[in-house]
Structure 1
């Protein structure tokens, strides 16, 4: 298996952009690490990509980064651009904005730019995503669903993600939009996958050893169904409530860590 050197900074959305900027400063620090930083902003998911790109460009310049570039991928053809590939290859930090995560995967999936992103991550580049940009990080992503419903099979829609982090599914704006039910429903469909719900102004930093650290003002919820002893998920009819037993839930605030490979908090 090819060794991964990079870090992922996966943000639950609505991160502080004006006061302490704790999460965005962490991204800048990781992009710098012993080198002159070049940050590439990818507003692919955003409806108003120009204004969103400018906003984050101004923020990162205010945080001391001189070399910031907005890379617009608005079509599948853009994903085959040699210039775009070179831009990714020269980056030390790549930042995906919020919007619609399906735009990210449908425009980038399988393109040379997608392969350049994977290569950049493996060689040590930090890749961050907020909101939709966070949801797209996993191999399977949630693309929609009723967040405040009783857990049911038909309350969420899922699709293939970017695959930067495997064996997890990520939900964002988590506590603020009451999304525990749909995350449990996602995990029930495949209990081998960890469900990670990230609150607003909160992020997880995933390192090369698949350990995560929580950063920000709120919490991260991790749902683990691996040792569940019963579920009716395969028998459910539309609108019927889900049953699942012996599921484990972890709630982790700022500074707490979790070992994704061994499915347990790191307490030392």
Structure 2
């Protein structure tokens, strides 16, 4: 992983609270100036863009954001539209809704919109995403895999993501859909990559220095395969249950933090001590 992760990212495990305290969406809203900055809601992943936009517009306007726009892209022609490109360049916060992550990559990949997205990320502007909008942030994303099953060698389908964060792979709706098996399979296939499973109504806020802070009501699971000493992950006998030794699991709750570069959790006091050395 690079020494520095570009951009400020808010990666949400899906089904975030929209009616109660709205803790996660409040945190999203507080990243910008609510009176003057622009929030851009990208509904690319969903087949019901108007419904999704209206839901989030209601929540974010209720949280005090005055300038909310919709990024309306349903095909690759829209991803070359100059007005859409300008919207991205002008926005202070881009929010990806849920849906199908392959819709995002297949529509945006190789287009001027994708270039604009990488540009605002490199500038450190905030990009948030929930559910499919979370999975798509990494270089490689999980597209399909068995829920609530033991990990098996050849049951996982992966695809290139948007590449906004290095050397991680993200899964969402994690505990609720029993996805530990498929994330273990992803890590076994490439132990250099850190697996991150995010529960519903839970998120990580990733700083440009690679620190991930957990917020929300659930847990975030960090799977580190860098010390694996054995696995049977090769595709021979592909129906076998996956076996691997010495994979490391960290489980963090709200307020806990994780160093994505060093692959270690830490307490705030320890971070202060490190910074004074």
Both structures adopt the same fold (TM-score exceeding 0.5): yes
Aligned to 2:28: 27
Pair 211,112 (structure 1): closer, same or farther in 2 beyond 3 Å: same
Aligned to 2:199: 199
Count matched residues. Answer: 267
Q: What is the SS of the residue equivalent to 1:233? A: coil
Distance in 1, Cα, partners of 2:65 & 2:4: 28
Aligned to 1:179: 179
Distance in 1, Cα, partners of 2:7 & 2:142: 24
Distance in 1, Cα, partners of 2:58 & 2:31: 18
Q: How much has 1:4 moved relative to structure 2?
A: 6.1
Aligned to 2:152: 152
How well do the aligned residues superpose, as a CA RMSD in angstroms?
1.6
User: Is 2:5–2:166's contact at 8 Å kept on the other side of the alignment?
Assistant: no
- 1:28-67 CA-partner distances (Å, limit 9, x unpaired): 111239x822100001001111110111111111110110
Aligned to 1:18: 19
Q: Which moved more, 1:117-126 or 1:98-107?
A: 117-126
User: Is 1:236–1:242's contact at 8 Å kept on the other side of the alignment?
Assistant: no
TM-score, normalised by the number of residues in structure 2: 0.93
Q: How much has 1:243 moved relative to structure 2?
A: 1.0
Aligned to 2:46: 46
Aligned to 2:95: 95
Q: Within the alignment, does 1:266 sit opposite 2:275 as a pair?
A: no
User: Is 1:7–1:121's contact at 8 Å kept on the other side of the alignment?
Assistant: yes
Aligned to 1:240: 240
User: Is 1:5–1:125's contact at 8 Å kept on the other side of the alignment?
Assistant: no
Aligned to 2:208: 208
Q: How much has 1:6 moved relative to structure 2?
A: 2.8
- 1:55-94 CA-partner distances (Å, limit 9, x unpaired): 1111111110110011111001111111011000110100
Q: How does 1:126-145 map to 2 (within 5 A)?
A: 126-145=126-145
Q: How much has 1:236 moved relative to structure 2?
A: 3.9
Q: After TM superposition, what 4+ stretches of structure 1 lie above 4 angstroms from structure 2? A: 1-5
Aligned to 2:251: 251
Pair 187,4 (structure 1): closer, same or farther in 2 beyond 3 Å: closer
Q: What is the SS of the residue equivalent to 2:159? A: strand
